[in-house]
Amino acid sequence: MTETISLGDIVIRITRKAVRNVHLSVHPPEGDVTLVAPVNTRLDVARAYAISKLGWIRERRQELQDQARETPRQFISRESHYVWGRRYVLEVKHKDAKPSVLLQPKKIILSVRPGTEAIKRAEIMYAWHRKLLHDLIPPLIQKWEAKLNVKVNAYYLQRMKTKWGSCTAQARNIRLNTELVKKPKDLVEYVLVHEMVHLIEPTHSERFVALLNQHCPGWREARAELNELPLGAEAWL
């Protein structure tokens, strides 16, 4: 059963877990609020904590409202697209051959057959995005498996609505948001390291933070930069 707290127009969804401290989060793009609390926390105690953080919640929601938002893509020529944090201009070419995508210094060339509809152009681009990520991720996993002394059984790419990534510690699986292809590679690596540290410490405990501080000392700056970059047009995080 899902518990909620209402503070005026703000509804906070509560999750109880085996954690030591309360953890409050405001999630892009709409500013949904969640509160993770230790299993035995009384509801009135959780409510008091949320009230004490009400100012911060409102500030964070306003930041998300003001944050840059990508306009919906139509996958047509002269449209802007982002790859690894850089802006490119899309050029669509029509030719009777197998569809392809080519990344050049300042533009992306999308070659499609004449009459290809926008939804198909989007599918071709999304498949290319996934390939870029599949080329990047395995070497990074191998690098950090050695540094952290952990083993990732499998990783998956998917479009995610509320997270950049997730980790199923018991199965040793990691999931990454395909929107990460639009972000700088060092930020993609930060998300991956964050999830791999969960293989050692499943919760966002003091131990988890200490491990991030040790292996990724600039993680707070990386997180802030990641959340300041333009959001995707679809509601995903």
**Are 53 and 138 within one domain?**
no
Q: Quick one: 29 and 132 in the same domain?
A: no
Give a yes or no: residue 224 inside a domain. Answer: yes
Query: Quick count: other Cβ atoms within 10 Å of Cβ 182?
Result: 22
Q: Which segments within the chain are labelled E, that is strand?
A: 3-7, 10-17, 23-27, 32-38, 80-83, 86-94, 100-103, 107-112, 154-158, 165-168, 173-177
* 191: in domain: yes
- Residue 175 covered by a domain: yes
> Which CATH number fits the domain that encloses residue 204?
3.30.2010.10
Predicted local confidence at residue 142, as pLDDT: 97
Both 52 and 150 in one domain: the answer is no
Residues near 123 by Cβ (< 8 Å), separated by ≥ 6? Answer: none
Q: What is the number of domains present in the chain?
A: 2
Structural domain boundaries enclosing 216: 117-228
Coil vs helix vs strand at 47: helix
| Pair 123, 33 in one domain | no
Q: Rounded distance, CA 86 to CA 154, Å?
A: 29
User: What is residue 123's predicted lDDT score, i.e. its pLDDT?
Assistant: 95
Q: Within 13 Å and on the Cβ side, how many CA atoms surround 178?
A: 15
Provide the residue type at 93 as one letter: K
Residues 138 and 219 in one domain: yes
For residue 92, is it within any domain? no
What is the predicted pLDDT for the residue at 232?
A: 54
For residues 121 and 208, membership in a common domain is answered with: yes
pLDDT of 131 above 90:
yes
The arithmetic mean of pLDDT across residues 198-224, rounded, is 89
Within 10 angstroms of residue 121's Cβ, the number of other Cβ atoms is 19
Residue 236 lies in a domain: no
Domain termination residue (choose one: 66, 81, 107): 66
146 with 213, same domain? yes
Domain match, 201 and 137 both: yes
Same domain for 215 and 151? Answer: yes
CB of 165 within 8 A of CB of 195?
Answer: yes
| 39-69 pLDDT per residue, tens | 888 899 999 999 999 998 998 888 777 655 5
Residue 213 forms part of a structural domain: yes
